[in-house]
Amino acid sequence: MARVKPRVKVMNPFCNETGVVQMTCLATGFYPRHINLTLFQDDQPVIEERITGGELLPNADGTYQMRKSVELTVKEKGTPTHLLTKQ
């Protein structure tokens, strides 16, 4: 299979009960399987202890996907959260 760049989507559902926003980044449809997915906040990498996910999963078409999430308070959400993907 030829090299395929990931499609990236950022999702941020709001949780009313706790006042926490979970920012999730999904990179999917990439090949080969080696990828670095790094979440950024205010131009600084988010520390790994705050990140959940990161498992590499296969797609039915032979490509791969990876999802990472970080929880932010409503106050933190006011600062941009960026992401960077490298293949």
CATH number for the domain spanning 58: value is: 2.60.40.10
Note the pTM of the prediction, 2 decimals.
Answer: 0.80
Flag whether 81 is in a domain: yes
Q: Report the pLDDT value the prediction gives residue 59, as an integer from 0 to 100.
A: 98
Residue 1 lies in a domain: no
Q: With a cut of 70, which residues of the chain have pLDDT below it?
A: 14, 16, 76-87
**Residue 81 has what pLDDT?**
55
Please give the structure tokens belonging to residue 15.
Answer: 């949780």
Q: What is the pLDDT of residue 39?
A: 87
Q: How far is CA 32 from CA 2, 29, 66, in A?
A: 8, 10, 12
Whether 31 maps to a domain, the answer reads: yes
- Does residue 2 lie in a domain region? no
Domains in the chain, number: 1
Instruction: Output the pLDDT for position 77.
Output: 58
Asked if residue 79 belongs to a domain, the reply is yes
Q: Which two tokens stand for residue 38?
A: 């790094």
Q: Can you give the residue range of the structural domain that contains 28?
A: 7-86
